[in-house]
Amino acid sequence: MILTIDVGNTRIKGAVFEGNILVEDFVFMKTEHEKKIQNILNKYKKVTHLVISSVGFLEKESFLHYNEELNVHFMSHKDAFPFVNKYATPQTLGIDRMVLAAGATLQYPNQNRLVIDVGTCITYDFIDENDTYLGGAIAPGLRLRYESLHNYTAKLPLLTSQNPDYFIGKSTAESIHSGVVNGFVYEIDGFIDEYKAHYSNFIIILTGGDTDFLAKRLKNTIFANSNFLLESLNQTFQYKIKND
């Protein structure tokens, strides 16, 4: 069994896999990671590999003591990936984006793929039907947009995400929700339309913490999977083992 761990900017997500079957997934705060991971290992004693992808501020040393009982692997740019990387600055490409691209390549062969990850940031990653990674885009996520309105103005309140069923905000709070959420959705649909105008034979994968919140608001047809990064970690690691 494999335990995959994704260390994000705000939270840690994990999942236990038996082959390609996701047995159970987990979400917890970084401050809880030692206790939570140990609880998972106590429950699933057949776990032999711990596979980690990290873009957050958590030192590798936090996981190295698991080497005593597990094979610990940190995904890195040196690993084998199932695509040709045409990014102009490959060493600056986040490992999470590389893993997502790998998962899309492995799960959806012979077609153009756009992976949209909606978390603290929203990232767009495009892999063409010839398994070439071409790049994408990075923009602030929903939470950052709400926080920026509060932090960089004198009087606007800090709100939590709310799905507006209106276009015209009739109060300050409604105006913020309309601007942030509707603007976010229009942005995503606009990016998708631009890709579709240039490429056919297309699949769009939406993932990340805000997947369920956004999926039904998009006008484009998407494949929504909030656990796609964890699944991709598992598949990319298995690909690495076979191709090292």
- The neighbour count for residue 229, using CB atoms within 10 Å, is 25
Over the stretch 63-80, which tens digit does the pLDDT of each residue have? Answer: 777 777 888 888 988 899
- Quote the pLDDT of residue 242: 87
State the average pLDDT over residues 211-227.
Answer: 85
- Quote the pLDDT of residue 181: 94
Listed range (33-37, 79-83, 87-91) with the worst mean pLDDT? 33-37
- For the purposes of burial, counting CB atoms within 10 Å of the CB of 137, is it exposed (0-12), middle (13-18) or buried (19 or more)? middle
Over the stretch 164-199, which tens digit does the pLDDT of each residue have? Answer: 888 899 999 999 999 999 999 999 999 999 999 999
Query: Using CA atoms, how far apart are residues 53 and 33, in angstroms rounded to an integer?
Result: 14
CATH architecture, domain 84-233: 2-Layer Sandwich (3.30)
The reply to whether 2-74 and 84-233 are identical in fold is yes
Does the pLDDT at position 209 exceed 70? yes
59: phi then psi, degrees, rounded to nearest 5: -65, 145
96 catalytically annotated: yes
Q: Domain 2-74 adopts which CATH fold?
A: Nucleotidyltransferase; domain 5 (3.30.420)
Domain ranges of the chain: 2-74, 84-233
Considering the candidates 96, 117, 131, 210, report the single residue annotated as catalytic: 96
The mean pLDDT value of the chain amounts to: 90
Give the global pTM: 0.90
Tokens of 226: 């909030």
